[in-house]
Structure 1
Amino acid sequence: MGFDVGVGLFLCAETVRPLEERRRFLDAVNATLERHGLPPHREPRSVAEIDPPLPPGTDPCLLGASMGAYSSHARRSDRLDWLARHVAVRGTAPAAGPPYGPELYQAYDRLPDRAATFDHLLAACGDGVVVLPRPLDRVLAGDHCWLISADRLRAEAVALGYVLRTADPAVSDSPVVDWITGTAVPDRSFEHLRARIPDDADVWQGWAEESDLCHRLLQSADDVLRTGALGITS
């Protein structure tokens, strides 16, 4: 089985979820937002409601991204999780692969400034996470899922992609410029990030799968923001 980020509850007719189930899911998301004192989310009910319109020929069933098989996704997300925590805690890129241990994870959880963390990106690697097309101060807990911000996911993915040298330098060589669209990220939290893996092909290859995962997360965030539709991991 595969792990995916699907975008748009009502944009694609080819879905295994019955319409009534999708409506109940949206109601549950809005109930969670209400409990946190936030306005409800308005989900587009058709492609015609998206403004500006999607580029001609866009298949709404292909919005979001496939993350690959569960087994491969678990390994990549585990390593990306460790890398993100290392960068947030130590302000540097690791010189080698992860020596997993509790100290780094504990230090990350104790960081007082969450603007310098990757909370939304780490959450996005889990199952049943809702990506909202709006800013959020923090990851929100729902009854059966977590709610995260596509704006923040985008900022974190851009910054981590910068660390991993994922971007084409002709498009972006900055931790605050989206390396898919080439546009500046409004969230400037990572503006002074300088951590980068060595500029060496052998090192890049060692992080290739995690770079690909970071790219797919950014693609999903971009799709959520340009459509105004929910993204859901599953």
Structure 2
Amino acid sequence: MARDTFAAELAKLRTLPAVLLTCGVTIAAAGTLGAALAAGRAMSAAEAALGTTGYVQTGLIVLGVLAVASEYAGTQARTSLTAVPARGRLITAKIAAYLVAAILTAVLALAAALAGALFTGAPMGDGAALPRAAAYLVLIGLLALAVATLTRDAIASLATTLVLVLVLPPVLPDAVGDHLPGAAGARLYLPGPGLTSMEGGLVLAGWLAVALTAAAVSFVRRDA
């Protein structure tokens, strides 16, 4: 039964035009950005690919929002709950389906960015941080999924996540901004001042634990 629910949720994502468009545009944009960064600066292909992560994350955030909020635009949410009354199983299947789509999108986007950079003649460089960048992309989209589960509105959840990840960190004092999910998670793949890679990962994990717990409780207890 759990396998059937997961398959149904994965099929929903695969057949949503907005999801397919988001994934396709994200991958294509990553390739273009990777080439542009490598051509415009003296950097390796791996560095150029990592440099695209801050831009590519917007696509994963949109994917996370669409994985849940698209059902609340009409009556699909009620239909899903009628077919699968076990809400815990349903939200788990939604998360699992998102993870499949997000992992594929993140890996292909970074691969496209790397290929685009290599196409310009840039040297390969050290790609050890690329898997961590892919993990960051998947996790930041998962945060968007949790926010979308709480708000049940695509615009509100997209705006909330983008503000948390992109808008607030640069304008707040470092002691606060460094602990927001985007800035903290970026330490996973991009060294910088403030938190270490491990500390940044733990802060992002804390944000996800709180957001996903709240989302799961909300999904199970609220009316459709």
Bucket of the pairwise TM-score, normalised by the shorter protein: under 0.3
Please report the TM-score for the alignment, with normalisation by the length of structure 2: 0.26
Please report the TM-score for the alignment, with normalisation by the length of structure 1: 0.25
> Between Structure 1 and Structure 2, which shows a larger proportion of strand residues?
1
> Between Structure 1 and Structure 2, which shows a larger proportion of helix residues?
2
